[in-house]
Chain A
Amino acid sequence: MARPRMPYQCLEKCGKYLVAASGSHIDLFGLDDGSYFSRWTCPSLQGSENANGIAGETGAEFAHQDSRSSSFDIKVDATSPSSPPAKRRKLSQTGDEKTELGLPNESNELVEDSKDRLGGGKKQKKQKQNSRSAAVASGFDAPAVIALTVTKSSGHVVAITGEDKNIRVFELMEADGVPRLNQLSQRQVARVN
């Protein structure tokens, strides 16, 4: 069965090329005759995490939390089994909640669990946000492009990918006569305060 083709949500003109974003892809066309040149594909969230260490949103946050909390919380738990955090055991139901929401990170469950017991409400809230954005992100295989712009000199293309909140800068270059976008940088816009 022929699947519907993804429409192009953003278009920009870049010199003699048309830059068109479709879902998590960016295509290049010639403006003169509409000929198709090349496509850049946003790496999927899991893929980017493994491939280059610059994690996508969900991956990054989970990794982040793990490293942060496991570094001290769990250690404390181990060294002083009678310490106050043990009282918060009931918070472990966050784990269940997460499973209900169908989060893929079930392998993290154990770590999460022990952490949640200590984390308290704030962490629980964060967890929920993560679940929600993960659900949104799961709509596509990879983060979708939500905005595109081109420099005046037409040398660079800047795109925002929505789900991982990255600003990506591309360089327009030609390889073997075929123009393509080469990603120069990817910066996740993290909340600063």
Chain B
Amino acid sequence: MPKRPCALEITKDSVTIISADKFGDVYSLPLIASETAAPKEVSRESSVISERPFKPAANELTIHSQRNRKALANQKRQALTGAEKTGPTFEHSLLLGHVSLLTDVKLAYSNGKNYIITADRDEHIRVSRGTPQTHIIEGFCLGHKEFISRICIPKERPDLLISGGGDNNLFVWRWESGELISGAELKSYVGTVLFSGKEAEEQTALLGSTKIAVSGIFSAKISSEGEALSTVIVTCEAVPALFVFSLTRENTLQYKQTLNLPGNALSVVTNLVASETAVPLNKLIVSIDNVFKPGSTSEVRTLGDETATPLLSFHFGNGLWVPETVFEKSIAKDIENRQAGNVNIVALKNLLYGIENLRKRDNEDRDEGVVTEVGSAATEDRNGGGEIDPHQAALDEDSTING
């Protein structure tokens, strides 16, 4: 069965793609595929296979009946086609493996050494050595109680790692030591967006039963009055807003601003620079969902309500992000092109909103009609209070070796 890659990174030198997939494997492949490479010698896996080709125990001299002869012929044919089947079609090599579904991969650099940081559904963030010793685990960043969906290394603070997922908080780590430095509450800000029209009491009640799933963490460097500010922009699945935090010198995330959007935030591009001068523009672009209603992953917008532009841009000025209208014109101009053939709503939902599905089912059952505090205590129990699970780590290592 083909495995589906779910996260991509490209090395600094722009020659290698690092890909993580849903089977928990991370592998590298060259950016430019070499056409001449014979599958035999390019991949570790395939060479292992070709070294030990299937050989039937019997041969033509040891079998006598017609039926056995046929069986042997079949075995030989199968061995041939089998090898054909398992041989990878392109040059690649397996770097490391998790026993869980991988959600994100990042390449990190520190003191001239490179590392691969991977996050998975089972609350682990693993720091592995970079190529060629990727099987060596340098450490873990453990503390998440729910799945991790995104990790981010701020460009101007490469020693830090910000992670988010199904938890109510964002985490800030010093990834090389695995030390948890700080966290930032996120859920209450999400609640403010989702339940803005509601009474305070109702808001609290609704918030208790709400789960958030971080869908994006983006670092943005902005220069304000000659000073460089490091900010972090967070999106949550099916939430029509951007949450802006500033990364302080004390390595904490300080909430700054919520940018309300006319549709659920999907993706963000930051750190835009002027094309000629490379001067930072203090701008960001966000894509929003213009098919589903804001705050929903199932309700489709009604006919008159689909005017929202799929791309919006914001500009940072006077300490706040403010909307611009750059993209609206060109998007509108190009409306013909952008009409989708047949938007299959279910397929679109699966494409846009897959992160909340990472949450474990037993949690869902447990939380039904139960006070949240009880729920989170149970989570803590299940994961041993965020302690390192050496058994799990050993398992991870095993899977790498057997890879």
A interface size (C-beta, 8 A) = 68
In the complex, which of the residues B29, B31, B263 contacts A7, with contact meaning CB atoms closer than 8 Å? B263
- Taking the complex as formed, is A10 at the interface, i.e. its CB lies under 8 A from any CB of chain B? yes
Q: Which segment of B113-121, B285-293, B365-373 sits at the interface? A: B285-293
Give the residues in chain B near A119, CB-CB below 8 Å: none
Give the residues in chain B near A187, CB-CB below 8 Å: 29, 33, 89-90, 92
Give the residues in chain B near A83, CB-CB below 8 Å: 67, 70
Closest to B283 in A: A31
User: Known contacts A152-B12, A152-B14, A192-B43; is A39 also within 8 Å of B5 by CB?
Assistant: no
Give the residues in chain A near B89, CB-CB below 8 Å: 187-188, 190
- Taking the complex as formed, is B392 at the interface, i.e. its CB lies under 8 A from any CB of chain A? no
Alpha-carbon separation in the docked complex, A39 to B340 (Å): 13
In the complex, which of the residues A20, A32, A191 contacts B2, with contact meaning CB atoms closer than 8 Å? A191
In the complex, which of the residues A7, A32, A33, A189 contacts B290, with contact meaning CB atoms closer than 8 Å? A7
Q: Which of B23, B310, B329, B350 has the most CB of A within 10 A?
A: B310
The binding surface of chain B is classed by DSSP as mixed
B interface size (C-beta, 8 A) = 84
Give the residues in chain A near B81, CB-CB below 8 Å: 68, 71-72
Cβ contacts B323-355/A at 8 Å (1 or 0 each): 000111111011101111111101110111000
Interchain CB contact under 8 A, B337 and A39: yes
Give the residues in chain B near A138, CB-CB below 8 Å: 344, 347
In the complex, which of the residues B271, B275, B326, B339 contacts A5, with contact meaning CB atoms closer than 8 Å? B339
User: Known contacts A156-B31, A158-B10; is A36 also within 8 Å of B268 by CB?
Assistant: no
In the complex, which of the residues A22, A31, A155 contacts B338, with contact meaning CB atoms closer than 8 Å? A22
Interchain CB contact under 8 A, B33 and A146: no
B interface list, Cβ under 8 A from A: 1-10, 12-14, 17, 19, 21, 23, 29, 31-33, 43, 45-46, 49, 67, 70, 74, 77-78, 81, 84-86, 88-90, 92, 94, 263, 266-269, 271-272, 274-275, 285-291, 300-301, 306, 310-311, 313, 326-331, 333-335, 337-344, 346-348, 350-352
| Given A6-B338, A156-B14, A156-B31, 15 new contacts (CB under 8 A) | A3-B340, A8-B266, A9-B351, A15-B275, A34-B326, A35-B330, A39-B337, A57-B2, A83-B70, A144-B351, A151-B14, A152-B13, A158-B10, A165-B3, A189-B5
